[in-house]
Amino acid sequence: MSEQPKQDYKVTLNLPKTDFPMKANLPQREPETLKRWQDMNIYDQIRKKTSSKPKFILHDGPPYANGNIHVGTAMNKILKDIIVRYKTMSGFDSPFVPGWDCHGQP
């Protein structure tokens, strides 16, 4: 059997041109991003701006008091985060209040 030359299908793809790099290089870029966010102090700025608005407080329950961490734990945290952010963007003073476990640890 004769061997067929490999075809380059890359030229057949209709992909958008973008400035995003092919590799994210997260181990190098993540510290820069975190430092920029800390320098901008966005959370404190939002807290000051909404301090005179009506309060909305969602107390996060104890993190691992009744078993091991699982997908439901992540979903619970994500949904609560979405709700608090939505309320903040809707004009409420919505601080994030983390829960404490049965040992008094955050």
CA distance 57 to 81: 12
- At 31 the pLDDT is 94
The SS3 assignment for 57 reads: coil
Q: In the predicted model, is pLDDT for residue 1 greater than 70?
A: no
DSSP code at position 4: P
- CA-atom Rg of the chain in angstroms: 23
Task: Quote the pLDDT of residue 57.
Answer: 93
Mean per-residue pLDDT for 28-39?
A: 93
| Model pLDDT for residues 60-81, shown as the tens digit of each residue | 877 666 678 889 888 988 999 9
